Structure 1
Amino acid sequence: MKVLITVHLFLAHTLIIAQSNYAGYKYSEKLSTEISLDSKKWVSIHIVLSDQLDYNLWNKTEDAARSELNSKQRKLVSDLKKNAERSQQELLVFLGQSQDVAVTSIQTHWIANVITCRVKMNFIPTVAAREDVRWVGLNSKLKHTAITEIATVQAEAAPNKTEKGLIAIGAPEMWALGYTGYGRLAFIADTGTDPKHPAISSQYNGLQNGNMSSWYSFGNSKSPYDCDRHGTHVTGTILGLDRSTNDTIGVAFNSKWIAGDILCGIGTEDNIGAFEWALDPDGNPETTSDIPDVINNSWYDPSLTELDCYSVYIPILESLEAAGIAVVFSAGNSGPEENTITPPHNININEVNSFTVGALNGNSSSLPIASFSSNGPSHCPGEGALKIKPEVSAPGVQVRSCVPGGDYALFNGTSMAAPHVSGAILLLKEAYPYLSGKELKLALYHSARDLGVPGEDNKFGMGIINVYDAYLYLLAKGYQPVPGLVANDVLLLDVKHAPVGCENKLYPQLLVENSGTDTLTSLEIHFEGLTFDKTYHWEGILAPKDRSTIQVYITDVPDNSDVITITLMRPNGREDSKPLNNMFSLKLKVSDRFSSENNWLFSENICANSIFYLKAPETLPVAPFSVKWYDKLYDGDLKFEGKSILVEEKAKIESLYAELQYRDNAGISPKFNSTGKYEEAGEEGLIFDANSNFTLDTFTVYSEKIGIRQFYLYDENGDSIASTKKYINKIGANVVKLNWSISAGQNYRIVKKDGKALFSNQNVSEFPIQSADDIVTIRSGTNGNMYNYFYDWKISYTHPCGRVPFLLEARKDTVVGSPEFELSTDTLFLPGNSTIQIKNTSKFLKSYLWDMGDGKNYTEENVEHNYESTGTYNIVLSAIDEQNCLITTGKKLVVLQTTSSFDEESGQNTEAIKIYPNPVKTELYVLSDQNFDHELKLQLTDINGKNISVTPFKKGVNQMVLDVENVPLGVYLLKVVIGNKIITKKIVRL
């Protein structure tokens, strides 16, 4: 309180200083120097008006009225808006009439009664001299508190592990009481946050409440992103937990986060806007559940010097504290010297505002202070505890947390210490939801465990925080916590589903946790879309603290192309005591699209020692595809690859799931006619819908000039989600490699942003242009019916309906049959010799299914079959024995085309080279009539030229041996490279 009086007296004193000196006290020495250097320079500034709320009086009035926190928050926002509207009008007129002000840049803010604008430097003393102006500051680009990454290699994920820093601050003791951050909200004002990282994705507030009230962006980005890695790392320390691996990196892992990209923009102005947004994220001052409980600030403002004590951050911090929000700052990484606290963290309105955090090593039992951690005292006026900085310390050395892209990294910094404190605030707020942020900070402050010299000091502050001790501190002061553990509490942690609900079905997999103290035996799962709502009843047994996946199948779902909301309801037939974490929103298309089918006939015939043959599910012939076989419907381990596989029962695989992976084309080819021309315009391109997830592998552009081009991909919100800069190195066609992953969605834009002209077609009548499997629909050009730039797309995707299940549960019976057969030959030569005869030599079999590998099947005991195309075919016999058990065997058959010569030569007589045997099974001999007088090599490739092996030989030999035993059956090319001459021969591996 004492320092607050001092500050107000100082400001009052400035109001009576002579006019010639008056303005100099209203902006920093740094800004004064810049004015003298270049008075005509245009800069962005913020102007703090003198008319501010008297927060001492305001707080006393609300406390006397015994106002509840949400009531105080509503009144504060209303009072701030009224004050700004009333007091800003005269200054706005003054600014609007000046030629030294960019009128279109003027923005008003009510949180601290601030106006921002661009002005000429020489205008600053003029506006600062006005009596209604309290402070003028530069809008400088903010900087995150510098970090040191421990290693260039990413840190590993750590399943079933809790970080030592979390243990050091007493978080596990709070978890044991049931406090995990449920119902609480953190605002991370930083470089943004990656919303897709598995450690923090399910905690994003926007999943339930939308981006508008969950994401603040200086550049009007509609959805979260991270322009660095800093913000994601900070978010992980506050609340990170990978539910699938139980890798705990965050303090309050059941809380939610909102975020802003204030470190990606112009700086102070963005920060003012972000703090204002935090007081009313959803734009409705009557609601208060959207207001965060804590704001984490791991950054500093370099525009400030010692005058941060009188800057715009004073009224901002006063207003946020009045709203009950706990604001947490990192101390800075400029230690170990004294007076190195970075601005605006020197502010000391009271003993916990600002609340600044130093960094110590939480991985060491002695908890030493980090050498880089900034030290006090504060340079702001005050005495005693008010001069000491930081207030507390927390782990900030080798802190492992998440970074964009699903990875983890170790960082050093007070940036890493501050989020430990923010997470602790969330745990305390869950236990004592009626207490303000100031009261919770005071609890951490007074319960901190002393380190360093006895008592509060300018290295550790009061010492390391301990959230459990703070909980006990509040309990001892007579505050009663709400129960942490409740009987019925179920969490919906994650939902997985294929991109499309095919054949009007839903088949989501839910990850559910029983956080109650009672065993969970029943549950209602409610599904709601624009045109339907359905409820699925689940029964089972789920012990307290256990997790389980629940596979749900729902039929007769109407077509849907919007969000489906899934809600867990009535655990054990009762109301859930904590319903805020029971809901998940899934953007999902439901349609009558045909799903690939499992056409396997033998699921009832698997016995002990069965060997069985699985083929790819039936699919429409829309594009070339490959198949991968996994052990789970979603995620899981890859077990096999191939359109057909042999599986042995003794491998004890109970189920397999076939994932069909396609490669297809999209778009059109160029038309070099009167409709075509080279266009140079930037930001032009194509608009398309992704009807399912896919990867854009390449497209082709046509250029008349070489040079650099830039290509961007924007989502339906207008946010850039991918970009590439390519050097177009030839005239004509250029294939641009991309590998862009694109999620199902509408109104994507792909554009050329910079660079010289590329070919386009006008008046294209084919729009909309659909890919063969309806994965991509190119709706139009960005300029109507002009097809801009991007031709002959190559795309890859998995089947939109998801994986196809094969259930492989074995009976107790044992196989008695022995399937065997003989082929009349192992090689056929088209066109004359195209028929294979198969003689069955099996024992104890009663039925047969022959798969000839070319789509033909037979059920006779002996088979004769004609092949029409070359290739290597798997002939498979699936048979049922006398015990009704399945047993399978197979053999390979090579079908070749008869040619007059296998040889191609380049500058060498092919008669000088002989190879045998051909066809070959194990060893291939290469002979010459004379010794080679050059070093040489044998290069084996497939028929398409893909390299298989290269074997070098020294000069002076006339015989070489090539081992092909491990080469798959088929047709290959053998290139004998002798100096600069090549002899190519076609060989057959049997």
Structure 2
Amino acid sequence: MKRNFSKILFSLLAFVLIFSIFGFTVAANGGKKSKTQFSEIPLAEILGDIELSSDRPTSVIVELEEESIVEAKHKGTSQTKANLKSERGKVIKALEKAVKNADVNREYDYVFSGFSVELPGNEIVKLAAIPGVKAVYPNVHYTAEVISAEVISEEAFSPEMMNSAPFIGSNEAWEAGFTGEGVTVAVIDTGVDYTHPDLAHAFDDYKGYDFVDDDNDPQEGAGQYHGTHVSGTVAANGAIKGVAPDATLLGYRVLGPDGGTTEDVVAGIELAVQDGADVMNLSLGNSLNNPDWATSIALDWAMAEGVVAVTSNGNSGPDNWTVGSPGTSRDAISVGATQLPYEVYSVETTTTGDVSYESDKVMGYADVKDLTALDGNEYEFVNAGLGNPDDFKDIDVEGKIALISRGAIPFVDKAANAKAAGAVGAIIFNSEPEEFDFVIPGMEVPTIKMSGVDGQKILSELEKGNNTVSFDLEYVTTNPEVMADFSSRGPVTLTWMIKPDVSAPGVNIVSTFPGNGYAALQGTSMSAPHVAGASALLLEKNPNWGTEDVKAALMNTAVDVIDPATGKAYAHNSQGAGSIRIVDALNTTTLVAPGSHSFGKFVKNTGKQVEKQSFEIKNLSSERKSYSFDVEFAGNPDGIKVSTSNNLKVNPGKSQQVNFNVQVDTSKLEPGYYEATISVSDGTQKIDVPSILFVGEPDYPRLTGAFLEKVEEGSYYVGSYLPGGAEVVQYNLFELNGEKIGEPIDTLGTFSNAPAPYHEFLWDGKVGGEELEDGEYVLGVYVEQAGVTEYKAYLVTKN
């Protein structure tokens, strides 16, 4: 367990009890005034979850104030590798003087200015105090984002299984002559099996680089498959075809068997840009919702340098604010996952003696043939507990139905474990009495779901020896394309941007697998390469386009994904601009950029607040066009008015900026999130630009971490991470009795107007004038910001 940042999970009641015991005050211990001494200190930003009280080696990424080569170039200033090396050397020299055990690893200068270094965690504050250091980021762990994987046997495989590329229009694009020829796509991932017969054509002599083993061979490691699968979706050309089958590929192995770290991902981005990639795909991520992260910054500057950067949005949905870096990038194209249209069946489940179950429904399946094969047949069913691998060790489910309880592991893992044990289907029942809503197409065995009440009923029947089950299945309808529940949602903190930018198929995607094989995977990792391949097709047709043109074309021509539960389009923060359609993007005659807008926050308590926004319209046609505009907020709420030009005339091949004002009267609006659609029409083509605004402070997490760290004898740093700053922040210390919160000890400090994203102060380690004993404690942090309060507890160590 991490000692600083492992949050202790307490119930709401526990928090209420804390407040009732220890109110918001600087007095403590029965009203006695504290003699604690504290003072705020300036430091470079230390972002993220870093264990600052430990003396264990900790790897971090250091961003320097000195601008990278690409950043300086695009800001019109002069920068050289030699100067960066010199400035970086000064900081490294100062670091080595201040910290005895500091081991610098990778150094960056092209799209990111800084270096990675390993040093004791409790020395990081010294690093942050060195002149020239802009920010310190944890060298966080990145994973290849896959929800489930199923290898397809040679006997079962057919090329028609690769149906996602045709769905977004790849076949029609090929027929029009666009196959990605002459465009280079970098796959920054787990490496790639470039010997696969469907991929060998895409690689030249120089194939990329392996940052895990530090050599020039990006061949995927033993037991890994993610990068090969992603590469096939981009550019396979054999038994299956990727979206851009004639594109050239470069592989960059930045993720090993256990994932990878920021230092290698940033290094991969830098090298891909310098190697001349036109497009890069990063189907990887973490849970950090922050636009100013090392990977996100590197992607922003890669886009500025002319490389179309595509990244997965993450697999932590369906709640808002779940998008993580690098999907939080301001400029890169972040991609959400959709499920292709699939057939819906109703089911009547009957066990021995014609016992029926009211709540039974089809939860999901990978192949409709596997589902319909169950129809009308009788099977033995077996209790498989929670569906963990160990639950299957001592039971025989071969050719049977696994009965599984919800809990402990994801549904898709339960189904996968059932299949691995030989089951032909599964019944999953809720751990609570009621039903649950999840429908997950792509489950590895046909899966029926039930309420907790029916789950206990079927368990009871099984205990009586009534161990047979049959299913009466009936076709109901074919569901349209829908958003995958697992797909992460925006917005992004601080920028309040809509993410994802677009969506693409990501459930049950068939592509190449190492060793000449094929597999079906699901995750936003599978969605991103569809967009990377589409970008290659657009660049083949339009080699002079900039990255913003490619992004705009994909966003402007995407189609709304409709939620079948409501009959309305999913929220912008679920689908972005919609699901991509390649042919429409290739044929568009107008580009509107940026392809989405955030009007930001409107927090004025009285009166009206006005914000100005603009976007650029580019007329790609050979005729002069006249554009009209319409802005519609969902529900047409009073208090929001948008004014813009009624008509705008743009000459052929020219661009023009459109300015508009947004006026918000917060007195007429409830605090919350409001989404709008800006429609741009030339009389023939209509482009919808998704937009959002927030009334009041957005509902992002106010507090994301805290720490207590010893500087020297009698001196400690105490602090917290505040994404939006805080009007008030208070630090309370409590005893820890076992795993329970004990008595309040003291209020260590109360501050007002703490800035984002990081606050810290110096504490003398004393309570009531007496030195506090070393040991484990609970640091309770209370935050007030924009009318929202949060109180969280963290386990810390004083030593």
Question: How high is the TM-score relative to the length of structure 1?
Answer: 0.40
Higher relative contact order (CA 8 A, sep 6+): 2
Structure number with greater Rg is 1
